[in-house]
C-alpha cells in the first residue's frame, strides 16, 4: 500500500478545527452573496487572494470578516454539515469542532436557536456522513470580559448535547489584561464537567502555555509549538503527557513558522511530547486533515508507523466514549499491521 493510500484509509479524528475556519470556498461564496455588502469577496479568484495571509493579525481580520457572514442559525448548521461532508471521504470518524458563541451573540442570534442548530447538525452529520460531531465552546481572547461571560453562560445555560469542552483562541497577547475573567470562566466551565482545551503557545511564548496549565487547568492544548523555548516546560509536558494539538500548515500560513521543513513537530516528538495532528482552518489554509498527514510524510519523512501513531494519539486524546476509542484504535492497528 502506498503512503497516499494508507493515509486515505487511516481512521482519523480531528481535534482542532474551527467552525468559521472550516467553511469551504463555495460555502463562503454562498454566504457572501446571501449577505451582500461585507468585506468578503464574492468571486472565487478574489476570495482565494483574500485568504493569502500576511501575518496572524491579518488572518484574524479575515477570520472576523468571514465570521460576520454567519448571521442566522441556518448558517451555523450549514457550516457544521459542510465540515462533516468534507471530512467523511478523508477517513475522519470524529470531530471536536470549536464554536465561538460570542460571535453569534453579537449578531443577535439567541442562545437557544444556536444550540438547536448545533444539535440538528450533529445528528445529521452522523446520519448523513458517518461523522460523529462534538463541540468545544471557545472565548475569542481579544474580546475580554463580555466575551468570557457570554461564552460561559451559553455553555452552562443552553449547551448543545454534544458539548464536551471549553477553550479560548484569538490573539494570545491580549489575554493578560483579562486574566481574572478568563480564569473565572474556565473554573466555572470545569466545575460543570467540561474539559479545558485552550489555545496556547501559538503566537506567544512559553508563558502563555504555563498560564493555560496553571490558570485554566488545561487538559489538552491547542498548538503549543513554542514550548521548546523553555526546557522546564518541555519536561513538564513530557512528564504529564499533556496533549498538544498541532496544526503545521496553519502555523506556516499565519507566519508562526517559516516553512514546513522548519516546523518544530518532529523535535516535539523527539522530546517525548504528546502530539496530535490537525487542520485548524483548512479551506483558509488550502489544506485538509488528510493533507496534514501527507505534509508530515513529505516534510518530516514520516512513514506508516509514525502516521499511525499520530492517528492513535488523536483518538486517545479525544473525548470520545471509551468503547468508540477502542474500536478506532483496533481499526488503526489492523491497517498498520
Does the pLDDT of residue 49 top 90, yes or no?
Answer: no
Q: Three cell numbers at 42?
A: 464574492
Q: What is the pLDDT of residue 39?
A: 86
Q: What is the pLDDT of residue 284?
A: 86
Q: What is the pLDDT of residue 35?
A: 85
C-alpha angle 266/2/311, rounded to 5°?
45
Q: What is the pLDDT of residue 37?
A: 84
**Mean pLDDT, residues 223-248:** 98
Of 127, 126, 147, nearest in space to 138 by CA: 147
Q: Sorting pLDDT into bands at 50, 70 and 90, what band is 53?
A: confident
DSSP-derived secondary structure letter, 326: H
Q: What is the pLDDT of residue 276?
A: 98
Of 100, 168, 98, 90, nearest in space to 131 by CA: 90
Does the pLDDT of residue 56 top 80, yes or no?
Answer: no
Q: Sorting pLDDT into bands at 50, 70 and 90, what band is 63?
A: confident
Q: Three cell numbers at 227?
A: 514550548
Does the pLDDT of residue 210 top 80, yes or no?
Answer: yes
What are the structural domain ranges in the chain?
Answer: 3-336
**Mean pLDDT, residues 274-301:** 96
Q: What is the pLDDT of residue 278?
A: 98
**Mean pLDDT, residues 190-210:** 97
Q: Sorting pLDDT into bands at 50, 70 and 90, what band is 30?
A: confident
Q: Which of 142, 172, 202, 292 is catalytic?
A: 202
Does the pLDDT of residue 267 top 80, yes or no?
Answer: yes
The four Cα atoms 205, 207, 212, 213 give a dihedral, to 10 degrees, of 120
- Cβ of 326: how many Cβ atoms within 10 Å? 12
**30 or 304, which is more confident?**
304
Max Cα-Cα span within the chain: 54
- Looking at 163-303, which runs of residues are DSSP E strands? 163-169, 195-196, 199-200, 221-223, 244-246, 275-277
Of 76, 162, 80, nearest in space to 129 by CA: 80
Lowest-confidence region among 27-36, 163-172, 195-204, 259-268:
27-36
At 115-147, the pLDDT tens digits run: 999 999 999 999 999 999 999 999 999 999 999
CATH number for the domain running over 3-336: 3.20.20.140
Q: What is the pLDDT of residue 36?
A: 86
User: Do 15 and 247 form a contact (C-beta atoms < 8 A)?
Assistant: no
The reply to whether 202 belongs to the active site is: yes
Q: Considering the entire predicted model, what is its pTM? A: 0.94
**Mean pLDDT, residues 195-210:** 97
**94 or 71, which is more confident?**
94
User: Do 155 and 189 form a contact (C-beta atoms < 8 A)?
Assistant: yes
Q: What is the pLDDT of residue 175?
A: 96
Q: What is the pLDDT of residue 294?
A: 98
Q: What is the pLDDT of residue 27?
A: 80
Amino acid at each position: 500500500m502506498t503512503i497516499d493510500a494508507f493515509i486515505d484509509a487511516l481512521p482519523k479524528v480531528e481535534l482542532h478545527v474551527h467552525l468559521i475556519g472550516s467553511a469551504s470556498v463555495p460555502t463562503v461564496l454562498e454566504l457572501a452573496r446571501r449577505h451582500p455588502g461585507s468585506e468578503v469577496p464574492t468571486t472565487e479568484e478574489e476570495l482565494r487572494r483574500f485568504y493569502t495571509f500576511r501575518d496572524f493579525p491579518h488572518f484574524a481580520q479575515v477570520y472576523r470578516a468571514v465570521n460576520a457572514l454567519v448571521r442566522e442559525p441556518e448558517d451555523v448548521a450549514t457550516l457544521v454539515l459542510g465540515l462533516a461532508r468534507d471530512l467523511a471521504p478523508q477517513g475522519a470518524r470524529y470531530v471536536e469542532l470549536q464554536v465561538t458563541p460570542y460571535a453569534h451573540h453579537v449578531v443577535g442570534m439567541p442562545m437557544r436557536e444556536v444550540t438547536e442548530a448545533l444539535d440538528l447538525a450533529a445528528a445529521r452529520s452522523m446520519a448523513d456522513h458517518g461523522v460523529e460531531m462534538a463541540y468545544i465552546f471557545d472565548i475569542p481572547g481579544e474580546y475580554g470580559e463580555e466575551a468570557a461571560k457570554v461564552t460561559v453562560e451559553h455553555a452552562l445555560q443552553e449547551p448543545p448535547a454534544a458539548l464536551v469542552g471549553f477553550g479560548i483562541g484569538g490573539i494570545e497577547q491580549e489575554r493578560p489584561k483579562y486574566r481574572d475573567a478568563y480564569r473565572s470562566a474556565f473554573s466555572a466551565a470545569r466545575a460543570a464537567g467540561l474539559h479545558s482545551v485552550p489555545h496556547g503557545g501559538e503566537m506567544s511564548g512559553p508563558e502563555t502555555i504555563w498560564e493555560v496549565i496553571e490558570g485554566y487547568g488545561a487538559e489538552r492544548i491547542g498548538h503549543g509549538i513554542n514550548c521548546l523555548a523553555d526546557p522546564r516546560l518541555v519536561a513538564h509536558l513530557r512528564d504529564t503527557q499533556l496533549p498538544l494539538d498541532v496544526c503545521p500548515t496553519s502555523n506556516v500560513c499565519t507566519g508562526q513558522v517559516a516553512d514546513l521543513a522548519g516546523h518544530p513537530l518532529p523535535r516535539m516528538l523527539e522530546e517525548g511530547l504528546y502530539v496530535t495532528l490537525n487542520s485548524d482552518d483548512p479551506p483558509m489554509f488550502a489544506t485538509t486533515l488528510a493533507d496534514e498527514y501527507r505534509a508530515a510524510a513529505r516534510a518530516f519523512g514520516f512513514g506508516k508507523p509514525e502516521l499511525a501513531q499520530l492517528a492513535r494519539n488523536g483518538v486517545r486524546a479525544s473525548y470520545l466514549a471509551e468503547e468508540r476509542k477502542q474500536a478506532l484504535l483496533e481499526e488503526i492497528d489492523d491497517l498498520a499491521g
